[in-house]
Structure 1
Amino acid sequence: MRCCSALVGRLRRAAPPVLRPPSCPACPPCAAAGPASTPQPAAKPLQAARWSDLPGWNDDDLAAAWPAFLQSCRALAKRPQWPQWQAVCDEARGLNGAATAGIRRFFESRFQPWLLTNPDATTSGLITGYYEPLLHGARTRAKPFLQPVLGVPPDLLNIDLGAVLPDLKNMRLRGRLQGNRVVPYFSRAEITAHEKDYLDRVLLYVDDPVELFFLQVQGSGRVRLPDGQTVRLAYADQNGHPYQSIGRVLVDRGELSLEQASMAGIKQWARANPGRVNDLLNANPSYVFFREQPINGSDGPSGALGVALTPERSIAVDPRYAPLGAPVFLSTSQPDSTTPLRRLVLAQDTGGAIRGVVRADLFWGFGAQAGNQAGRMKQQGQMWVLLPPGAAPK
């Protein structure tokens, strides 16, 4: 589950109701419009493009994206079924340390850009941001550390549907056994109401239920312990229930305006309404489980590709349309701004809220400043996937 801005992004993507005015003499009857038009087939998600189509391609410091690209190659090298990637990654390793001009020639000679295109043939989509937060916690439960962070429970089933039906590739079913039937796993409200059943799965206790909720939204984070040690928590699994924006809930209840329903606004509401926080959080049935992960220097958390994320150069995507590991040229704008943000990034992560062809979540890094950028990012943008010849999905 990724996407800090999904809290508000889902609100802004919601289409307003269609208001139909009453009939009037100036409006011809519908029948006069003629027969209904034939529905147009959905546009292909990948449209061949030229390098000159990528705005700002010649201005980006590609050397800043090179370490992230080599990280992708580490993962792609383990997939012998993709020989096109093997060749370009072997060549890339020989170019390590090259300047931006040499890297640009490498991509232009070894890759083909493809414009990601929505089913309705539009090419713009939502670009949000996420980050790695810092929480405060302890190994044992004692005030103020009362909120358990859970590892994966043993009764949670995670079924790869693509292994049963190839048409269901990249789709998974989560549930639990009830007798000889698979039924939905417990919701957030059910899990939190029966915490005593999960005592053997507790990794840590943290001091704030809202911060823990946002940790689950981000998918990974760090926890500082009383002795000064810091541990990293990484996404391990999810209960299978759909994500519900609590910002949307507060807006629907009339508690906050759309403009107030940011991460900061939700935290402010929680401080003013401590007795209602659990009810609000349980309005989202989704629940994320974690695992501990080593912190290796300044490396970011591991994404869905299995490599460390690079701040401002890694994105989460919908892997049905943008292959994990692939370079992506992103053209959008800075958070809450019209200042262009155009750069090469790598598709190295996924997220429960990241669904659709032109859709990305930019990883901003660790800490409060990264959180500020991620929380404000709800921009429109375009995306070009760069693929070796012959690697484009059919």
Structure 2
Amino acid sequence: MRRLASVIAFLMMASLAAADEPVQLLDFDDLDGWAADDHAAALSVFRNTCMDLEGSDWAALCRVAETVPDARTFFELFFRPVLIGGESPALFTGYYEPELRGSRRRTGRYRFPVYRMPPEVTGQWLSRQEIEQTRVLEGRGLEIAWVDDPVELFFLQIQGSGRITLAEGGALRVGYGGRNGHEYRSVGQELVRRGVYQPHQVSAQVIQSWVRRNPLEGRALLHHNPSYVFFREVEITDPNLGPLGAMNRNITPHRSIAVDPDFTPLGAPVWIEKDGSGPIRRLMIAQDTGGAIQGAQRADIFYGYGDAAGEAAGVIRDPGRMMVLLPIERAHQMIPDA
């Protein structure tokens, strides 16, 4: 997870993004469905992280956001929608916070470890296959807990955070603690490449089912993704709050998205127009990142936690477009001639 860039670094990034990707300033009338959204709900989520945005313009807007009487007016008065890299359709996917069954102690049932990050991991380290086959992490006291399903553990690593219901009673939450430096590779795309499924058939549930039906081939399939995620234990202050995102704040179902911070500043409002099944026209807040979330027109929508959220998030792979809302002066700086 990356920290917020400084104002200078962001402006340098913005000019580079403008050079590499087409940038277009839009009006709010250009946003499909803008008037029908619940702007007050978006403003509430924006307030959760606006104090972490760097820059005097963001700080001033954060102060106004605390007392503004009308949310829609606030966004329309102080922001401009900016479309970056919109010549190709956006790609929207979904993510969620899994719920696993586990224990603080290793038992016959709970024998698959959830690991903290070992201190020697810097840069590119051992691959997923090498970590599991060499057992290099065993017996070092790095285990946070043990769970009962290696497939669910794999998807926990993809999601980056989750809750574990403990056999001893209670629950614990784990958050992203680091990774082994290898790039994420999609096992769903690998199944498509092998001809096992067509692209429209692949979902998290389909992959889980296939791996369980084919244990030997399934294990090899999971090794196709060399990326390995480590965790840290996160205190559950309120079980109704979402997990911590990249800004170390709780994220909100259906209002928080993961983005590529090389193009979209963390904490910024983002208008999304997701097409496909179950179209969405909604103001989201960019509060998270992810290894597979790369590019100006790429976002992962947070759907909540548990099986129902997982089923909803697992089938999302839809086109559309997304526009980041930037403070007016900052938006105009994205286009030298604006």
TM-score by length of 2: 0.88
1:138 maps to 103
- Counterpart Cα distance in 1 of 2:173 and 2:137: 24
Given that 1:84 and 1:389 are in contact with CA atoms closer than 8 Å, whether structure 2 keeps it comes out as no
The residue aligned with 1:389 is 328
Give yes or no for the alignment of 1:89 onto 2:62.
yes
* 1: CA distance, partners of 2:237 / 2:330: 33
1: CA distance between counterparts of 2:221 and 2:270? 37
Give the C-alpha shift of residue 48 in structure 1: 1.0
Aligned partner of 1:166 in structure 2 is none
Q: How does 1:4-43 map to 2 (within 5 A)?
A: none
Do 1:45 and 1:321's aligned partners in 2 also have CA atoms closer than 8 Å? Answer: no
Give the distance between the partners of 1:349 and 1:377, measured in 2 at CA: 18
Tell whether the 8 Å contact from 1:116 to 1:382 is kept in structure 2 after alignment. no
Superimposed CA distance per residue, residues 238-277 of structure 1 (whole angstroms, 9 cap, x where no aligned partner): 1111111112222333444434432111111122112333
2:161 to 217, 220, 228: 220
Residue 74 of structure 1 is matched in structure 2 by: 51
One of 83, 86, 92 as aligned partner of 1:127: 92
Report the 3-state secondary structure (helix = DSSP H, G, I; strand = E; otherwise coil) of the residue aligned with 2:146: strand
Does the 8 Å CA contact 1:238/1:287 hold for their aligned counterparts? yes
Compare CA radii of gyration and give the structure with the larger one. 1
Is the CA contact (8 Å cut-off) linking 2:205 and 2:311 kept in structure 1? Answer: no
Q: How far apart, in 2, do the equivalents of 1:353 and 1:63 lie?
A: 30
Taking structure 1 as reference, are residues 45 and 218 closer, same or farther at Cα in structure 2, changes over 3 Å only?
A: farther
CA–CA distance in 2 between the matches of 1:221 and 1:138?
Answer: 14
CA contact (8 A) 1:139 1:204 kept: yes
8 Å Cα contact 1:124-1:358 kept in structure 2: yes
Task: Give 1:364 shift.
Answer: 0.6
Partner of 2:72: 104
Alignment gaps of 5+ in structure 2 = 2-17
Matches of 1:60 and 1:326, distance apart in 2: 17
Q: How many angstroms does 1:196 deviate by?
A: 5.0
Contact 2:43 2:65 in 1 (8 A): no
What SS class does the counterpart of residue 305 from structure 1 fall into?
Answer: coil
Does the residue aligned with 2:76 lie in a helix, a strand or coil? Answer: helix
TM-score (normalised: structure 1): 0.76
Alignment of 1:156-171 (within 5 A): 156-157=121-122
2:328 match: secondary structure:
coil
How large is the RMSD of aligned CA atoms in angstroms?
Answer: 1.9
Among 332, 345, 350, the alignment partner of 2:274 is: 332
State the match for 1:171 in structure 2: none
Amino acid at match of 2:96: Y
Give the deviation of 1:45 after TM superposition. Answer: 4.3
> Against the structure 1 CA distance between its residues 331 and 254, is the aligned structure 2 distance closer, same or farther, given a 3 Å change threshold?
closer
Counterpart position of 1:18: none
Distance (whole Å) between structure 2 residues aligned to residue 130 and residue 263 of structure 1: 10
Tell me how far 1:116 sits from its aligned partner: 2.4
Change (3 A) 1:196 1:69: same
Residue by residue over 1:184-215, the C-alpha shift from the partner in whole angstroms, topping out at 9 and shown as x without a partner, is: 31000111112253432111111111100100
Q: How many equivalent residue pairs?
A: 315
Does the CA contact (< 8 Å) of 2:211 and 2:219 recur in 1?
Answer: no
Question: Is residue 126 of structure 2 the alignment partner of residue 186 of structure 1?
Answer: yes
Percent identity between the two aligned chains: 46
SS in 2 for 1:67: helix
Among candidates 285, 289, 293, match of residue 354 of structure 1: 293
Residue in 1 aligned with 2:259? 317
* Aligned partner letter, 2:220: D
Preserved contact between residue 80 and residue 326 of structure 2 (Cα < 8 Å): yes
User: Which of 261, 269, 277 is 2:218 aligned to?
Assistant: 277
1:46 aligns with 2:23: yes
Conservation of the 8 A alpha-carbon contact between 2:51 and 2:59: no
What secondary structure is seen at the aligned counterpart in 2 of 1:197? coil
Other-structure match for 1:305: 247
- Residue pair 1:115, 1:123 contacting (<8 A) in 2 also: no
Amino acid at match of 1:64: A
Counterparts of 1:86 and 1:44, CA distance in 2 = 28
- Conservation of the 8 A alpha-carbon contact between 1:116 and 1:123: no
Cα displacement (A) at 1:230: 1.0
Residues 154 and 344 of structure 1: is their aligned pair in 2 closer, same or farther, counting only changes over 3 Å? same
SS at match of 1:331: strand
Which residue of structure 2 aligns with residue 11 of structure 1? none
How far has the Cα of 1:54 moved from its partner? 0.8
Q: Per the alignment, do residues 43 and 277 of structure 1 end up closer, same or farther by CA in structure 2, a change over 3 Å counting? A: closer
2:303 is aligned with 1:364: yes
Counterpart secondary structure, 1:391: helix
Given the superposition, is the C-alpha separation of residues 45 and 90 from structure 1 closer, same or farther in structure 2, using an over 3 Å criterion?
farther
